[in-house]
A and B are shown apart, each in its own frame.
Chain A
Amino acid sequence: MATEVSRPTSRRAPRQQIGLIEWLRKNLFSTWYNVIITVVLLYIVAQTVISFVSWVVTAPGWPAAFTNIKLLLTWTYPVDQLWRPQAAMALVLLLLGLSSGLWGGIARMVAWGAAAISVVIGLAAFTFPDLPDQTSLPGWLFMFLCAVLLAGGDLLARRLGQKLRWPLIVAWLLSYPAVILILRGGLGLPVVETKLWGGLMLTLILAISGIVLSFPLGVLLALGRRSSLPVIRTFCVLYIELIRGVPLVTVLFMGALLLPLFLPGGESIDALVRATIAVTLFSAAYLAENVRGGLQAIPKGQVEAARALGLNVFQTTLLITLPQALRAVVPVLVGQFIALFKDTSLVVIIGLVDLLGAAQNIVGQPQWLGTPGGVWRETFLVIAAIYWVFSFTMSRISKRIEDQIARSRH
């Protein structure tokens, strides 16, 4: 038998080797206009980089940001209670690490992103001044601890396996109230008024609350908008379009001015709670549209098959359509979270002191008045870098998730 069929030996594609000159010609000087563009841009880039670097080296205002790093991170949160934000963050990161080990996938990407940020900040934290009170861990130690928690949680969960599943889900559900309890106090812990909260901590709390709390409302609105009942559909459409048609500032403004009026007896509501409600109501409308996008992408056959199997409307929605829709819109939701993370800087306008507000306050401190040109450039650059690191990491994660979903479809 002629079993000796000549099998084509798989050979690698010939390696394309191009030298430096070739590469330059191909990528920078291919046509006459590319030559002009390259030369002009090279000049501009060189000029910008040189003047920026020389400014960074000589700028007098760096101490403003670095001596005030505590204000930027937690604003006026009592110094002797700083272990509490640290504990809250450690808790969340441990859960994240465990989820990473248990589920992998998206959780692992987020965990890696968080670990990367922790290490970067931990390295940067060596330059931070020590706090007078030592009830909390030094910044660098804490950040490295965060990375260790993430990695340790991952390893631990891999060892424990699936029996961790339900405890972890319950822990996640309880984590939001737990974090608020740790930060706010009560149940034996001394209470820290929310008017003392601020800085990056407040920014993160608002952004996370915005997504977490708006989730149920947003999903309901999305389902309502696709409902066959005209009254409910109309209400949802009106709500979504009304909120999406106005800027976030007006919603915050409404929360600040009207919410106290809406309650009986002129009860005063905490300013942070008002802002959180406003952000939640705002975010829910956008979340609803994103989820609706996911719902629309589900083929009709899924619903028909579910109904044919005898599932009722609620079962179909909860077990068939919603899980698929939510999985499909995860990247979009990360995108929305990034947008919300940046947009929470708007609470400055209604008088809360978030990261941007803290920076503005530092710039106005009297001890920097003598610095020529002020210290705003250095301070704003530092907080821009903080915003940037967070948003950029999250957008990379979102991109990875998107690629993964796209791959799993094919």
Chain B
Amino acid sequence: MAAGSPPVPSGKTAIPFYRDTRVIAIIAQVVFALAVIALIWFLYSNMINGLRQANLLPTFSFLSVPAGFPIAESVIEYDPSMTYGRAFVVGILNTVRVAGIGIILATLLGLILGIARLSDNWLLRNVALVYVEIVRNVPLLLQLIFWFSLTRLFPRIQESISVFDLIFLHNRGITLAWPQAANDFEAWMQWVYGGIVIGVIFYVVRRIQFARRDRPGVALPYAFLIAFGVGLIGFFVTYAVNGVWPVSLSIPELQRFNFVGGITVTNSFAAMLVGLVIYTAVFIGEIVRSGILAVSKGQREAARALGLTPGQTMRLVILPQALRVIIPPLTSQYLNLTKNSSLAIAIAYPDLFYIANTINNQTGQAVPVILMLMASYLSVSLLTSLFMNWYNRRIQLVER
């Protein structure tokens, strides 16, 4: 080697490892992970120590122990001799019940509100505005307690407030007229099944035809129409054959101490439903309104210029585009409604949170109960957003 030649910097020493961003990134992540694990371990060991002293080590064995507390309303059969596990399931179903019905009603009311806010009728527009501004600026919990307190003013069952003799309000709940299966229900159901089968076949055949012709087309609404039509024809045919409608409206009748017929929901459930629907509908209404406003004016004008009727413009041009804007925030409103149903504890509707709280009070098993509670809410949230994402994708596909 020639003396005096500069030392060739080797690749290894060019960047010291502590200045190499790739190395730093790995070190940072390891340190972070260790810190998180250490924190969790610290909290966990404290908790276990504390619980061991209190002789309350977390276990799920309480799930098979009889619960011993009554639940005011349940979708499935339940009595206090059944287990805590069963009680928990009752809670989940009650949450799903109020959230499911609430979502449907809130969507309908929200749609009406959103359209009313855009109405060319000054009075309608402003009544809707006042409703929105009042409801959304007052806490939901206060509204729920208000509705529940209102039901406490309902009279005794013998002096029920009657609405058109179809709905009765009394201090034990609200009794409504409700459809009821009659003798020929089975015969009619054959028609309904038949209708569904024909609808599905129609849909599949049309889809294959579209694919073969390589052309888009509309099949699903017609499939629904066919299934519905067959069911409707069946309804009348059953009546014509037997002289009895397959489904009758069971109208509640006041006996001495109780209503016979119809269905009765508790006041807690009614207050919960009314409160959730009125509150959530406001937010849905605003989403619908902004969704419709988001479709540019040119779209409407172009549709009208092409000769579409106002109805067709709305159905074929405005709504499909508005839906794309509407669906994502709508999903989060549905999730909000479901989560807000946990406020039921304030008005004694036995939802998931209410029952979990009771179980915790009785067994002292806070940790398992909270885990189950969280897991349940997370899976309900996850299922709802999975479904809405699927629907969202379906709608987005329309775009070309």
Contacts and interface: CB of A to CB of B under 8 A. Distances in A.
A356 B32 contact: no
A27 B119 CA distance: 10
A45 B123 CA distance: 10
A343 B141 CA distance: 8
Q: How large is the interface on B (under 10, 10 to 19, 20 to 34, 35 or more residues)?
A: 35 or more
A388 B127 contact: no
Interface string A284-326: 0000000000000000000000000000000000000000000
Interface in A373-392: 373-374, 376-377, 380, 383-384, 387-388, 391-392
Nearest to A363: B149
Interface residues of A, number: 52
Contacts of B33: 231
A155 B138 CA distance: 34
Nearest to B116: A37
B139 A247 contact: no
Contact of A376 (B149, B343, B378): B149
B146 interface: yes
Interface of A: 27-28, 30, 34, 37-38, 41-42, 45, 228-232, 235, 242, 245-250, 253-254, 257-258, 261-264, 266, 338, 342-343, 345-346, 348-349, 356, 360, 373-374, 376-377, 380, 383-384, 387-388, 391-392, 395
B36 A388 contact: no
B46 A264 contact: yes
Nearest to A342: B139
A346 B122 contact: no
B139 A343 contact: yes
Interface string B121-163: 1111001000001101111111001100100010000000000
- Chain A to chain B: the 6 pairs with minimum beta-carbon distance, closest first: A27-B122, A391-B137, A247-B339, A231-B29, A342-B139, A247-B342
B345 interface: yes
Contacts of A391: 136-138
B62 interface: no
Interface stretch (B102-110, B194-202, B369-377, B390-398): B369-377
A247 B29 contact: no
A257 B373 CA distance: 13
Max chain A C-beta neighbours (<10 A), residue from B25, B137, B138, B339: B137
A28 B122 contact: yes
B20 interface: no
B32 A246 contact: no
Given A42-B123, A356-B145, A380-B149, 9 more contacts: A30-B121, A37-B121, A245-B377, A249-B343, A343-B139, A345-B142, A376-B149, A380-B142, A387-B138
7 contacts: A34-B120, A231-B29, A231-B32, A250-B353, A254-B370, A266-B53, A392-B137
Contacts of B122: 27-28
Given A258-B367, A380-B142, A387-B138, A250 B377 contact: yes
A409 to B, nearest CB: 18
Contacts of B119: 37
Max chain A C-beta neighbours (<10 A), residue from B30, B36, B142, B346: B142
B360 interface: yes
Contact of B138 (A232, A248, A388): A388
B50 interface: yes
A279 B243 CA distance: 63
B366 interface: yes
A257 B370 contact: yes
Contacts of A42: 123
Nearest to B47: A261
Contacts of B357: 253
Contact of A28 (B51, B123, B345, B374): B123
B141 A356 contact: yes
B290 interface: no
